[in-house]
Copies of this chain bind each other. A is one copy, B any other.
Amino acid sequence: MNAGSGLAAFQVFSSGREARLAIRRGDCLRPTAGIAPGMVQGNLAILPAALAHDFLRFCQQNPKPCPVLATSAPGDPRLPALGDDLDIRTDLPLYRVWRNGELIAEVEDVREFWRDDLVSFVLGCSFSFEEALVEAGLPMRHIDCGANVPMYRTSIPTRSAGVFHGPMVVSMRPLKPADAIRAVQITSRFPSVHGAPVHIGLPEQIGIRDIARPDYGDPIEVRDDELPVFWACGVTPQAVIAAAKPEYCITHAPGYMLVTDLKNSSLAIF
């Protein structure tokens, strides 16, 4: 709580590389939301090579919840497509290490947990499209409330691949109808970060019994003049991996994402 650490904790970087270097030095142990405006952030999953092909197949078959931004060669900690200097073992602020589905460590650096057969997957996240929605003037209530976006397990199936299977998880943002239409247009431009909504307006149709009780994140109000709008969510692959209980796995800690050198605007397809 001293002025020095407060300054460091809320520093904003103008590039993904600068943010990663600060994180790598251990100067930036905080959730990455807002850390480098305009830059793409990603969810991380690291799996043994024996499971990697099935997981990649799962992602390829379910691109809305699992949009792959990059994947590594086995044992290689680099992901040059996302940053020349990027080292996936040191460049996130906080990791979780799992063995047979159990959390065995939460650490700031996974070099000592590395193995030569590990394959990294970086998946797009909703930060990118939320930035576009905010720039378009659409209100994002969970941001305005300082809350996590509410997320729900649904009855929407995914297409399974090997041990990876489970229902789609969605995030929800309440919007007035005309804003919801605009949000469909804007997020349709970003297929690599979940794309257009998967549902709108009738939560019970996708197996959500109580909109006020999300399965993940925080509940937020849906007002009478608003519709709940649902996007495929990056928690889907996390939940699928958790259910598969792989013998070994490393993920980001929730909210502590990988900051890349890609610009959000570069993901727009038209």
Contacts and interface: CB of A to CB of B under 8 A. Distances in A.
A197 interface: yes
Interface stretch (A7-15, A120-128, A145-153, A176-184): A176-184
A200 B60 CA distance: 31
A225 B207 CA distance: 12
Tally of this chain's copies: 2
Contacts of A176: 205
Contacts of A196: 181, 184-185
Nearest to A226: B202
Nearest to A185: B188
B202 A178 contact: no
A162 interface: no
Contact of A198 (B181, B185, B202, B225): B181
Contact of A201 (B184, B185, B201): B201
Interface in A198-227: 198-202, 205, 225, 227
A200 B180 contact: yes
B185 A202 contact: no
A205 B184 contact: no
Interface in A117-165: none
Interface centre among A181, A197, A199 (most CB of B within 10 A): A181
Contact of A181 (B178, B197, B202, B205): B197
A200 B202 CA distance: 12
A270 to B, nearest CB: 5
Interface of A: 176-178, 180-181, 184-185, 188, 196-202, 205, 225, 227, 270
11 contacts: A176-B205, A177-B199, A178-B199, A181-B184, A181-B197, A184-B185, A184-B188, A184-B196, A200-B201, A201-B227, A270-B270
Given A180-B201, A185-B196, A200-B227, 12 more contacts: A177-B201, A177-B205, A181-B184, A181-B196, A181-B198, A181-B200, A184-B196, A185-B185, A185-B188, A188-B188, A200-B200, A202-B225
Nearest first, the 10 closest Cβ-Cβ pairs linking A and B are A184-B184, A201-B201, A177-B200, A177-B199, A270-B270, A201-B227, A185-B188, A181-B197, A181-B184, A177-B201
